[in-house]
Structure 1
Amino acid sequence: MTDPVPPTGTAGLRDDVVSARSVSGAEHPIVPGFHPDPTICRVGEEYYLAHSSFEYTPGVPLRRSTDLVTWTLAGHALEGDPHLRGGDANAGGGVYAPTLRHHDGRFWMITTNVSGAPGQLVTSAPAIEGPWAPSTLIAGVDGIDPDLCWDDDGVCRLTFSSNMASAPGIAQARVDLEAGRLLDEPRTVSRGSGLAYPEGPHVFRRGAHWYLLYAEGGTERGHAISVARASSPDGPFEPHPQNPIFSRRSTVFPVQNTGHADIVELADGSWAMVYLGVRPRGATPMFHVNGRETFLAGVDWEDDWPAVVPDRFRFPVPRTGFADEFDGPLDARWISPGLAPAEFARPTGAGVRILPAEAPNGAPSLLAARTTDAHWRFAAHTTASDAAAVRVRMDERHWAEVALVDGRAEARIRIGELSHAVADARPLAGGSRGLIVESRRATTGGPDDLVLAIADEDGERELARWDGRYLSTEVAGGFVGRTVGIRATTTEVLFTRAEYAPVEAQSRSQKED
């Protein structure tokens, strides 16, 4: 099936082992790559994470851990869900921030599909791996970032970032989850501290206080985390006198846009917080390409207020590389914009057959994985001479790919309304070839250089090198990060292997030799 270690001897790759080098949770994500809006809960000695998925399917990736720093992908809460099937979400739409909780022996997940009918989607499962029930739409809740909490009587409250004129800011209502209906009208419980866009609320209890943790300032450089408290989950909530309690805005810290947090009590009675951040690089205004990632901080308590300890946790660099020969069911890492992978990707035992298809949102089928490293290399292998392609993508208006066309290789890029192609004059040699996209150290002030190459019997040759800023959030906009994967352009293609690994960035002088 899937080998977590790329093959030794592959040009440009390092062995994918856990580095002996320890990193700080303040500077390195515990879940790298496009994994925004983290939400966390604990059951006994295990911890569970969920993330936004936006236009990609399956929806809402789920992870489990016993140590908070080593996370295993356990599946997706909205895989095959009827409310997402056939959806037409684009890169700015789809499934926004979820909340994951465990109550009365079941996991509950609630989220917003901003491209679907108004309301919030809620589903539950007896275990994190599922089976997850088909989601129920809770109507009458116009907004995003829904949260669930239960009081001592078992009454559930839904708290959310409201779009309702009747309940602006952060709103709340009691809800019957089994019936999928509100028990009262939403009402405002907080308008934030005065910064823009109060959102991402989570209500939780510690001792005599109920706390409202929320983000504000927008999910860009001004992002921040604030908190308020009350004696009841209904409020009224008293804001922390020094809000926001955590932000990296207007600093030179290598992780920026920090916000949208969730908090958890650990098995030993201490507390921790997960939050999103980005790692921008390059010249002003700096560019981030892997999307909003999940970071970990400690939490102390001072006068019954949470105090963030950003660098409490240290851990080895997480594993990110993989090699897949598609000799079994598709690994859960594979996602696609707008179309379920199973609808166009068919493992054969000797590779995967990719069919050309188009999602309802207009995106061509792409069996993709999230990029997770500052610099990396992705290679896919096929015997085809036509219709095979490897694409690195931000959205349908910002991507680059190497494709096979009538026995030759071609590098292509699209930046908004502009497109460009570079054709290889040399015909493909031999019966097997590799299509390669590599992220290398930047040479022109961007976050990296994207190198597109082809490998055949005559060796590996570079087709094009482009500034990676054009595939960044600062250029493309939106909320997602890069993905990279395989596709078929005009007819079915068999890929025998795909591999992704971090690479050590070369110096400019090394590249120019």
Structure 2
Amino acid sequence: MAFQNPILCGFHPDPSICRVGEDYYLAVSSFEYFPGVPLFHSKDLVNWRAIGHCLTRASQVPLDDAPSSKGIYAPTLRFHNGIFYMATTNVSGGGNFYVWTRDIEAEWSEPIWVDQRGIDPDLFFDGDGSVYFTTSSGEATTGIVQSRIDIETGKRLSEVLIIWTGTGGQYPEAPHLYKISGWYYLLIAEGGTEYGHMATIARSRRPDGPFEAFSGNPILTHRSSALPIQATGHADFVQAQDGRWWAVFLGIRPVGYPRRHHLGRETFLAQVYWDAEGWPKIGENGRVGETVDIEPLPSHPFPPSPARDDFDQPQLEAGWTFLRNPQSTDWSLVERAGHLTLHGSAVTLNDCGAPAFVGQRQQHFQCICRTAMRFEPGLDGEEAGLTVFMNERFHYEIALTRKNGRKRLIFRRCVGSLQKVEREQDWERDVVVLNLSAEPDRYTFGYAHPDRPGPPVPFGEGESSLLATEVAGGFTGVFLAMYATGAGKRSSSPAYFDWFEYLPRS
């Protein structure tokens, strides 16, 4: 029975996986978004449910000054002696650290910092009790570095040594160390996380090397191909309870020509095959399709997430995300019953800060997103609405604002240094339904009256290619978000969002 890739659609990069009995847990990077490091659970490696985040407190993940595509980089998720560990890097402050918990769906510890340079830390627990902390050097060509640490304190117990420089690709990074059949295998990424991305591997009889590179490297890459999945790399291995090995890894699905991707780097799955000499290959000789004609394990789907959130629960569901550390005074689920209330702050969508912003990852090329909003801007410049957001320099929105003393419905595009309100009209009603229809190559914005049946009225359009990583830069993906701003000051009036719908169409 076949399964479909990606297994996590939309902005879910740098996956790391571990197994506990018959349960699988997966973590991905989060960059400037909060809470940090989303967590997922599966029984079959294909169907996943969001269960929370590792970093849920500002004390764990200070992001106030994190530029776009900085903040929290790639995680490693491991389980050892009844404890879950997650190691990662805050590149905007502090460096490498790990947190731990005994209950993966509960709160995690405060950070335990490790004095070791680089990014993409890996934790490896050896049979003799030693714990190895392995990272990239953080430089384009140096390689992979390692030390032994005290897992209780994070203190280094050895010098930091270079253990492998890779196969010659730029940016050797994303190390993961495993002990399999008496060998220590070092799996890394090379080539940079773009179209030349790849996974390579080496092995040694010792955890600190010297490492011998596999002559068949890379074991995963789609470089120089026309395959629909591109930029494959940054892999992690897991052994299923039936003995088979699997890899999770990141990739992208570009659209159009020239190729551009806007959903972000996604998580894919493929089987790992071992040759007679004990070397692995991922997928079909290093290549992986969207449809894979293998069933990893007996299917175990979870109930689908509701398409509509009516904001009638005391807490937001796990899929909701803030931009950097939110201010508690900027949002509420109790101020107006059955609504998400946003108080616009001085921060706008164009600022490198924490606006009043609550969003979800766009996970499907074709989808409909809509929300019912009540907003009475009291002063000129106050604004609230629905945004398609890549970063502070690249975003589109449909919103209500006040201009020259009149409430106006606007559609705006921000593309680099070019920003323009492309359409506007008076709006006199209390409530507006803001509508977004996404296609692979474009977004169409519209509005509707909540008490009038019929399709939304078209109000603006923007190309998806202008929000793509190839244009906007960075390592993230598109978010669909509700927002509010006072445009330089705190807004005098809150925006009330009655509900939010996300409807996949593919």
Scaled by the length of structure 1, the TM-score of the pair is: 0.87
Where do 5+ consecutive residues of structure 1 fail to align? 1-21, 441-446, 505-513
**Separation in 1 of the partners of 2:311 and 2:149?**
44
Counterpart residue number, 1:463: 459
Deviation at 1:307, TM superposition (A): 1.9
Q: In the superposition, relative to structure 1, how do residues 342 and 256 fare at CA in structure 2: closer, same or farther (>3 Å)?
A: farther
Counterpart residue number, 1:124: 100
Residues 374-393 of structure 1: pairs in structure 2 closer than 5 A: 374-386=365-377, 387-393=383-389
Amino acid of the residue matched to residue 153 of structure 1? D
Deviation at 1:124, TM superposition (A): 0.2
Deviation at 1:230, TM superposition (A): 0.9
Given that 2:370 and 2:502 are in contact with CA atoms closer than 8 Å, whether structure 1 keeps it comes out as: yes
Given that 1:448 and 1:469 are in contact with CA atoms closer than 8 Å, whether structure 2 keeps it comes out as: yes
Deviates more, 1:403-412 or 1:191-200: 403-412
Given that 1:35 and 1:51 are in contact with CA atoms closer than 8 Å, whether structure 2 keeps it comes out as: yes
Choose which of 169, 181, 198 in structure 2 pairs with 1:207.
181
**Separation in 2 of the partners of 1:132 and 1:95?**
16
Deviation at 1:361, TM superposition (A): 3.8
Q: Are positions 1:152 and 2:127 aligned together?
A: yes
Q: Are positions 1:355 and 2:321 aligned together?
A: no
Counterpart residue number, 2:380: none
SS in 1 for 2:375: coil
Given that 1:452 and 1:463 are in contact with CA atoms closer than 8 Å, whether structure 2 keeps it comes out as: yes
Describe the superposition over 1:453-506 as per-residue Cα deviations: whole angstroms up to 9, x where unpaired: 1111566211111211111111000000000110112331111100111125xx
Deviation at 1:321, TM superposition (A): 6.6
Q: Are positions 1:451 and 2:444 aligned together?
A: yes
Q: In the superposition, relative to structure 1, how do residues 434 and 23 fare at CA in structure 2: closer, same or farther (>3 Å)?
A: farther
SS in 2 for 1:144: coil
Choose which of 184, 199, 212 in structure 2 pairs with 1:225.
199
SS in 2 for 1:474: helix
Choose which of 104, 109, 112 in structure 2 pairs with 1:133.
109
Counterpart residue number, 1:325: 310
Amino acid of the residue matched to residue 347 of structure 1? L
Deviation at 1:98, TM superposition (A): 0.6
Q: In the superposition, relative to structure 1, how do residues 448 and 317 fare at CA in structure 2: closer, same or farther (>3 Å)?
A: farther
Deviation at 1:333, TM superposition (A): 1.0
Given that 2:376 and 2:495 are in contact with CA atoms closer than 8 Å, whether structure 1 keeps it comes out as: no
Amino acid of the residue matched to residue 48 of structure 1? Y
Given that 2:375 and 2:494 are in contact with CA atoms closer than 8 Å, whether structure 1 keeps it comes out as: no
SS in 2 for 1:122: strand
Deviates more, 1:272-281 or 1:451-460: 451-460
Q: Are positions 1:75 and 2:75 aligned together?
A: no
SS in 2 for 1:424: strand
Given that 1:52 and 1:98 are in contact with CA atoms closer than 8 Å, whether structure 2 keeps it comes out as: yes
Choose which of 151, 156, 162 in structure 2 pairs with 1:188.
162
Counterpart residue number, 1:435: 434
Deviation at 1:389, TM superposition (A): 0.7
Deviation at 1:428, TM superposition (A): 4.2
Amino acid of the residue matched to residue 127 of structure 2? D
Counterpart residue number, 1:39: 16
Counterpart residue number, 1:472: 468
Deviation at 1:92, TM superposition (A): 2.2
Scaled by the length of structure 2, the TM-score of the pair is: 0.88
**Separation in 2 of the partners of 1:125 and 1:316?**
26
Counterpart residue number, 1:258: 232
Residues 262-273 of structure 1: pairs in structure 2 closer than 5 A: 262-273=236-247
SS in 1 for 2:356: coil
Aligned identity (percent) is 39
Q: In the superposition, relative to structure 1, how do residues 30 and 321 fare at CA in structure 2: closer, same or farther (>3 Å)?
A: farther
SS in 2 for 1:87: coil
Counterpart residue number, 1:175: 149
SS in 1 for 2:470: helix
Deviation at 1:413, TM superposition (A): 1.0
**Separation in 2 of the partners of 1:358 and 1:242?**
55
Describe the superposition over 1:21-59 as per-residue Cα deviations: whole angstroms up to 9, x where unpaired: x8644xx21111100000000000000000000000111
**Separation in 2 of the partners of 1:177 and 1:357?**
41
Counterpart residue number, 1:296: 269
Q: In the superposition, relative to structure 1, how do residues 342 and 100 fare at CA in structure 2: closer, same or farther (>3 Å)?
A: farther
**Separation in 1 of the partners of 2:332 and 2:479?**
20
Given that 1:385 and 1:408 are in contact with CA atoms closer than 8 Å, whether structure 2 keeps it comes out as: no
CA RMSD between the two structures: 2.1
Choose which of 391, 397, 418 in structure 2 pairs with 1:395.
391
Given that 2:139 and 2:171 are in contact with CA atoms closer than 8 Å, whether structure 1 keeps it comes out as: no
**Separation in 2 of the partners of 1:157 and 1:371?**
37
**Separation in 2 of the partners of 1:186 and 1:277?**
31
Describe the superposition over 1:52-104 as per-residue Cα deviations: whole angstroms up to 9, x where unpaired: 00000111111111111111111111110414235311212100001000011
Describe the superposition over 1:205-262 as per-residue Cα deviations: whole angstroms up to 9, x where unpaired: 1111110011101100000011111112111111100111111111111010000000
